[in-house]
């Protein structure tokens, strides 16, 4: 346990940031599941809407340093490709 006042504060801030990051990642995971479900059911209209939401959430999470910007870009590209393939099929 930290004894110095600033170290005690940093522990509290780290807990707050960890909980905020976990909530953000959980929300992203939920919308990714919705997107993949729509793709699996071949529901293109819903999938397009979910894709917009997922890409927006990933972009904002990368801006807030919750996830790395390259990871967000890679995931968005992957989901865009999935959507395009579903439209073609």
Mean pLDDT score of the chain, rounded to an integer? 97
51-71 pLDDT tens trace: 999 999 999 999 999 999 999
Domain count, the chain: 1
Would you place residue 1 in the very low, low, confident or very high pLDDT band (cuts 50, 70, 90)? confident
d(CA 20, CA 17): 5
DSSP assignment of 10-60 equals HHHHHHHHHHHHHHHHHHHHHHHHHHHHHHHTT-HHHHHHHHHHHHHHHHH
Any idea what the CATH number is for the domain that residue 78 is in? 1.20.58.110
pTM given for the model:
0.89
pLDDT at residue 58 in the model: 98
Is the pLDDT score of 26 beyond 90? yes
For residue 14, the enclosing domain spans 5-88
Angle, to 10 degrees, between the axis of helix 5-40 and the axis of helix 44-63? 160
Q: What is the pLDDT of residue 89?
A: 79
Q: Does residue 73 have a pLDDT over 90? A: yes
48 — pLDDT class (breaks 50, 70, 90): very high
Contacts of 9 (CB under 8 A, 6+ apart): none
């Amino acid at each position: 346990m930290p004894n110095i006042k600033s170290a005690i504060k940093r522990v509290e801030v780290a807990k707050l940031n960890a909980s905020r990051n976990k909530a953000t990642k959980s929300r992203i995971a939920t919308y990714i599941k919705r997107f993949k479900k729509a793709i699996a059911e071949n529901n293109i209209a819903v999938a397009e809407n979910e894709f917009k939401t997922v890409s927006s959430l990933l972009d904002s999470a990368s801006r807030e340093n919750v996830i790395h910007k390259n990871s967000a870009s890679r995931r968005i590209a992957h989901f865009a490709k999935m959507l395009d393939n579903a439209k073609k099929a």
